[in-house]
């Protein structure tokens, strides 16, 4: 996990990265797949590298050519290969259009590649468009397209309720909600679609409903998939932004319990630490920020947050130790300059 100066950047690490992984577990377009979808926010899958994703993209492109081959033998071989690829993602072809399923898989690959090249989100949207054209009732395609649209929007104003959306952003926002709403209409038990719609509420800040609007969607996602740590963590973040810190603490605690591989607990501990600090539970807050540092000694914000608590408690030596570590990790940040103005050479030793 990387550190960031941007508060909203942290929520990308907490939420966005997990959604990218969970999208790789989509179960296809079956009307009867809701029960299977309960587990589709699993975080146990090892993250795929850019090189591996690029290779998968080449394979699916070649496979799509074979699916259009008029030679029955080539076509059937392509079908069998596609089935194996889909089995890896727990997707079943059934009687669905093989070409549609191939576009669905390619759309997911392009979404993950979007982490490295944002232009890939547009390609993912195009793939899901083609899936929908061939399989108009494919809930997963609407969900995937909604997420690709959401991920393609610049991060600068994520979650900022005072940001005035421009015309293009307004149009994109409406399309995002339309896609998630359609996915839920097609499959009312689709946990990930509720989850992603809640994520959209957070990303768009006050448009519409903002953090208040996110709570019911994350709650529904939890109801459908009670073992998903990211749903609890996301709802906890929304509660924290609304000032409901005890509810946030409860959700982050549950998220930590449900993340056995501890892959994303850094964010959970960090945000819970902030919530503890907000309600005056300084010992618990210090403990959580210390946990973050144990997981990642270069997580600058944890040093700063812990240092500020020590400062308020009058523990100057511990505070300065943390501030020194912070400015060493982020010497050009605004906070580092402010600490320099306040403490002078003491923090630059």
- The enclosing domain of 36 has a CATH number of 1.25.40.10
| Residue of 275, 291, 233 whose CA lies nearest to 258 | 233
For residue 105, being part of any structural domain is answered with yes
For residue 112, being part of any structural domain is answered with yes
194 within 8 A of 224, measured Cβ to Cβ: yes
For residue 330, being part of any structural domain is answered with no
**Measuring CA to CA, how many Å separate 321 from each of 303, 306, 314, 318?**
9, 10, 13, 5
What 3-state DSSP class applies to 129? helix
Report the distance separating Cα 137 and Cα 142, nearest Å: 9
pLDDT in tens, the chain (349 residues): 333 333 433 433 344 434 433 333 344 464 444 433 433 333 344 567 888 888 888 888 888 888 877 788 887 887 787 777 766 655 666 667 888 888 988 998 999 999 899 999 999 999 999 999 999 999 999 999 999 999 988 766 555 555 555 656 677 888 999 999 999 999 999 999 999 999 999 888 755 567 899 999 999 999 999 999 999 999 999 999 999 999 999 999 999 999 877 778 899 999 999 999 999 999 999 999 999 999 999 999 999 999 999 999 999 999 999 999 999 999 999 999 999 999 988 887 7
Report CA torsion sign: 268, 43, 155, 1: positive
Phi, psi of 203 (to 5 degrees): -65, -35
Q: Exposed e or buried b for every residue in 182-196, given b needs 16+ CB within 10 A? A: bbbebbebbbbbbbb
For residue 251, being part of any structural domain is answered with no
Please tell me the predicted confidence (pLDDT) of residue 142.
97
For residue 122, being part of any structural domain is answered with yes
Parent domain of 150: 27-190
| Kind plus residue range of the DSSP H or E element containing 234 | helix 229-241
For residue 129, being part of any structural domain is answered with yes
For residue 125, being part of any structural domain is answered with yes
For residue 288, being part of any structural domain is answered with no
pTM over 0.85: no
- Structural domain total, the chain: 1
Report the distance separating Cα 121 and Cα 111, nearest Å: 6
């Amino acid at each position: 996990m990387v550190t960031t100066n941007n508060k909203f950047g942290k929520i990308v690490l907490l939420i966005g990265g997990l959604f990218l992984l969970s999208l790789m577990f989509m179960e296809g377009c079956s009307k009867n797949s809701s029960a299977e979808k309960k587990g589709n926010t699993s975080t146990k899958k090892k993250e795929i590298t850019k090189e591996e994703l690029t290779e998968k993209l080449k394979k699916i492109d070649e496979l799509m050519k074979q699916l259009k081959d008029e030679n029955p033998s080539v076509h059937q071989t392509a079908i069998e290969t596609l089935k194996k690829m889909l089995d890896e993602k727990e997707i079943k072809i059934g009687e669905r259009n093989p070409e549609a399923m191939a576009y669905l898989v390619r759309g997911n690959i392009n979404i993950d590649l979007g982490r490295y090249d944002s232009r890939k989100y547009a390609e993912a949207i195009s793939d899901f468009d083609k899936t929908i054209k061939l399989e108009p009732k494919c809930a997963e395609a609407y969900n995937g397209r909604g997420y690709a649209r959401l991920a393609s929007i610049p991060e600068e104003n994520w979650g900022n309720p005072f940001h005035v959306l421009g015309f293009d952003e307004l149009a994109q926002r409406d399309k995002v909600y339309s896609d998630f709403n359609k996915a839920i209409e097609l499959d009312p038990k689709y946990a990930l679609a509720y989850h992603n719609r809640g994520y959209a509420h957070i990303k768009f800040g006050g448009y519409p409903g903002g953090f208040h609007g996110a709570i019911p969607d994350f709650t529904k996602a939890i109801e459908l998939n009670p073992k998903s740590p990211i749903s609890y963590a996301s709802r906890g973040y929304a509660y924290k932004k609304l000032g409901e810190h005890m509810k946030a603490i409860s959700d982050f605690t549950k998220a930590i319990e449900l993340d056995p591989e501890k892959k994303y607990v850094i964010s959970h501990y960090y945000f819970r630490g902030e919530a503890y600090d907000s309600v005056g539970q300084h010992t618990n807050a210090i403990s959580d920020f210390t946990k973050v540092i144990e997981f990642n000694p270069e997580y600058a914000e944890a040093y700063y947050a812990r240092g500020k608590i020590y400062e308020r408690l009058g523990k100057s030596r511990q505070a300065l130790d943390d501030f020194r570590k912070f400015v060493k990790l982020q010497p050009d940040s605004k906070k580092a300059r402010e600490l320099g103005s306040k403490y002078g050479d003491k923090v630059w030793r």
